C-alpha cells in the first residue's frame, strides 16, 4: 500500500536509485509469480521463505523440508532479468535432466560472474553517487574525455551518469552499469582514485575505459561473455597516454592500495 502511493508520486525514481529493500521486494514478487508455474503448492501453502544474502560462496541455494523451504539468493538476483530468475526457479524446483541442469547452472553462474562487480556500486547503499570528490570532479573528467576522445557521446542526452563509489575498493577501478532502456547508464569510479597521488591521466584513462563500454556493448560469443572485444581494445589503445596509464597502474597503484589496507 505504502509503496503504491510512492509509485504514484510526482517524481519517478529511476530504478537504479530505488532502495535496495524495494528491489528485493520486487524480485521476491517476481519469483513467487514464476514459482506458480513450476511449484504451485509452494505458493498455495505460502511456505517458502525467500532470503537475499551477501554471501558470495553460494549464490543460489534451496533447503527444503516437508513441503516448506528457504530459497537463498545473492543480492545480485534482486536486479536480475526475468529470464535469469526463471533459470533459478527451474534449477531449484523443476524436474530436469542432467544436461539441462548443467545448462541452467552455467547460465546462473554466468550471470553472477558478469554482475559480481555491481556490488561495489549499486549494492553498497542507495544512490545517487556524487561525482564531486575531494580532489577530482568526475563530471569534469567525463566532459574532458568526451570532448577529446569520445565524440560519439557529445550529446548530453547520450551520456552516462558518473559518480564515485561509496567506499574505496581494492581491485576494480571502475564499473560501467547498463540500466533499462530509456534510463541513463551509470559509470562508477573507485573512490580510491580520488587521491592527490593519482595522476589525472590515470583517472582519465579509467573514465575513458568505462565510457568505451558504453559504445561497445557486451556480447556473448561461443558460450562466453566478451567485455573487451578486439575493437574495444584497439580503440582503448588510441588513448594517447595509454602506455603511461598502464605503467602507472602496474608500478604505483599497488602501493596506494597497500597503504590503504595497512591503515584499516
Ligand atoms: Zn572493462
CA of 227 relative to ligand 1 center, distance in Å: 6
Cα 229 to middle of ligand 1, angstroms: 10
Cβ atoms < 10 Å from Cβ of 213:
20
103 and 130 assigned to the same domain: no
pLDDT for residue 56: 59
155 alpha carbon to ligand 1 midpoint, in Å? Answer: 23
Q: Which residue has the cell 534510463?
A: 183
Same domain, 78 and 129: no
In the reported structure, the alpha carbon of residue 233 is separated from the centroid of ligand 1 by a whole-number distance in angstroms of 10
Distance separating alpha carbons of residues 40 and 89, to the nearest angstrom = 12
**Least confident span in 66-70, 79-83, 120-124:** 120-124
Confidence of residue 226 (pLDDT cuts 50, 70, 90): confident
Range of the domain at 67: 15-116
Report how far residue 172's alpha carbon sits from residue 89's, in angstroms, rounded to the nearest whole number: 31
Give the chain's domain count: 2
| Percent of residues, the chain, with pLDDT higher than 70 | 79
pLDDT-derived band at 206 (thresholds 50, 70, 90) equals very high
Could you tell me if residue 2 is inside a domain?
Answer: no
pLDDT recorded at residue 222? 76
Pairing of strands 219-221, 224-226: antiparallel
| C-alpha dihedral (98, 28, 124, 150), degrees to nearest 10 | 70
Is the pLDDT score of 8 beyond 60?
Answer: no
Residue 9 located in a structural domain:
no
* pLDDT tens by residue, 18-48: 677 788 888 888 888 888 777 666 665 657 8
Last residue of a domain, one of 87, 116, 145: 116
**Domain closes at, from 116, 138, 158:** 116
Alpha-carbon distance 211 to 209, whole Å? 5
pLDDT class of 75 with cuts at 50, 70, 90 = confident
CATH number at residue 74: 3.30.2010
Euclidean distance between CA atoms 108 and 88, whole angstroms: 7
SS3 assignment, position 72? strand
Same-domain check for residues 188 and 259: yes
Distance 87 CA to ligand 1 centre (A): 26
pLDDT of residue 52: 85
Asked if residue 220 belongs to a domain, the reply is yes
Does 96 lie in the same domain as 140? no
- Cα–Cα distance between 124 and 165 in angstroms, integer? 8
Q: What HEC string does 59-71 produce?
A: CEEEEEECCEEEE
Rounded to an integer, the average pLDDT of 206-220 is: 89
Considering the domain architecture, whether residues 258 and 144 belong to the same structural domain is answered as yes
State in Å: Cα 76 to ligand 1 middle: 19
Percent above pLDDT 90 for the chain: 31
The answer to the question of residue 40 being in a domain is yes
Higher-confidence position of 46 and 97: 97
- Predicted structure pTM score: 0.56
Do residues 149 and 232 both lie within one domain? Answer: yes
Q: How remote is the CA of residue 34 from the centroid of ligand 1, in Å?
A: 33
Using the mean position of ligand 1's atoms as its centre, give its distance from the Cα of residue 110 in Å: 16
| Higher-scoring residue by pLDDT: 53, 126 | 53
- Ligand 1 centroid to 141 CA: how many Å? 18
The runs of H, that is alpha helices, within 116-168 are 118-121, 138-149
Same domain, 147 and 237: yes
Amino acid at each position: 500500500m505504502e509503496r503504491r502511493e510512492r509509485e504514484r508520486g510526482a517524481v519517478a525514481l529511476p530504478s537504479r536509485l530505488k532502495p535496495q529493500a524495494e528491489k528485493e521486494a520486487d524480485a521476491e514478487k517476481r519469483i513467487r509469480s514464476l514459482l506458480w508455474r513450476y511449484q504451485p503448492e509452494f505458493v498455495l501453502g505460502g511456505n517458502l521463505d525467500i532470503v537475499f544474502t551477501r554471501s558470495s560462496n553460494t549464490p543460489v541455494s534451496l533447503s527444503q523440508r516437508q513441503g516448506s523451504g528457504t530459497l537463498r539468493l545473492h543480492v545480485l538476483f534482486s536486479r536480475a532479468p526475468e529470464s535469469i530468475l526463471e533459470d533459478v526457479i527451474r534449477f531449484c524446483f523443476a524436474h530436469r535432466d542432467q544436461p539441462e541442469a548443467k545448462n541452467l547452472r552455467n547460465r546462473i553462474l554466468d550471470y553472477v560472474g558478469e554482475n559480481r562487480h555491481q556490488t561495489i556500486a549499486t549494492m553498497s547503499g542507495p544512490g545517487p553517487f556524487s561525482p564531486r570528490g575531494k580532489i577530482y570532479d568526475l563530471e569534469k573528467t567525463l566532459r574532458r574525455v568526451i570532448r577529446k576522445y569520445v565524440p560519439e557521446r557529445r550529446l548530453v542526452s547520450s551520456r552516462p551518469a558518473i559518480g564515485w563509489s561509496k567506499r574505496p575498493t581494492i581491485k576494480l577501478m571502475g564499473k560501467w552499469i547498463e540500466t533499462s532502456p530509456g534510463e541513463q547508464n551509470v559509470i562508477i569510479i573507485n573512490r580510491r582514485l580520488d587521491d592527490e597521488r593519482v595522476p589525472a591521466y590515470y583517472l582519465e584513462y579509467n573514465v575513458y575505459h568505462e565510457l568505451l563500454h558504453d559504445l561497445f556493448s557486451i556480447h556473448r560469443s561461443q558460450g562466453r561473455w566478451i567485455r573487451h572485444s578486439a575493437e574495444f581494445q584497439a580503440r582503448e589503445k588510441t588513448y594517447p597516454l595509454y602506455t603511461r596509464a598502464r605503467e602507472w597502474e602496474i608500478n604505483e597503484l599497488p602501493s596506494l592500495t597497500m597503504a590503504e589496507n595497512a591503515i584499516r
